[in-house]
């Protein structure tokens, strides 16, 4: 049985394509330590398995959070703002 060959490292442009962001966003996230990566021979590279783990972590962190206490649901806030704006426009005209 042959040993498993490691998957090739990804370039910033490839990571950007996978994530659907601009390549400069990938570079910035890496410099900020938000995205796992390596610097090899002065070039930024990413392990596909590390990227897959990072994506899963982001999914877990993006679950919906309950609204803050005392904050009306968006639809109520929108309706209130709309009524207030309508009143202001009626009195201004």
Residue 73 maps to a domain: no
Residue 54 maps to a domain: yes
Cβ-in-10-Å burial (0-12, 13-18, 19+) of 47 comes to: middle
Residue 18 maps to a domain: yes
Q: Write b or e for each residue in 75-89: b if 16 or more Cβ atoms lie within 10 A of its Cβ, otherwise e.
A: eeeeeeeeeeeeeee
Task: Note down the domain range covering 53.
Answer: 1-60
- pLDDT, residue 13, reads 95
Number of domains in the chain: 1
* Structure-model confidence comparison of residues 76 and 89, the more confident one: 76
> Is 60 exceeded by the pLDDT of residue 24?
yes
Q: What Rg value do the Cα atoms of the chain yield, rounded?
A: 23
Q: Write b or e for each residue in 2-12: b if 16 or more Cβ atoms lie within 10 A of its Cβ, otherwise e.
A: eeeeeeebbeb
Q: Is the pTM of this model over 0.85?
A: no
Residue 81 maps to a domain: no
In this predicted model, what pLDDT tens digit does every residue of 35-79 receive, in sequence order?
A: 999 999 999 999 999 999 999 888 877 766 666 566 555 566 666
Q: By three-state DSSP, how is residue 14 classified?
A: helix
């Amino acid at each position: 049985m042959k040993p498993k060959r490691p998957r090739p490292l990804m370039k910033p442009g490839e990571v950007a394509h996978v994530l659907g962001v601009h390549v400069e966003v990938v570079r910035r996230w890496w410099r900020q330590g938000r995205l796992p990566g390596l610097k090899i021979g002065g070039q930024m590279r990413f392990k596909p398995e590390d990227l897959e783990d990072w994506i899963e972590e982001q999914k877990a962190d993006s679950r919906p959070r309950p609204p803050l206490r005392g904050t009306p649901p968006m639809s109520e806030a929108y309706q209130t703002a709309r009524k207030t704006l309508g009143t202001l426009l009626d009195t201004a005209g």
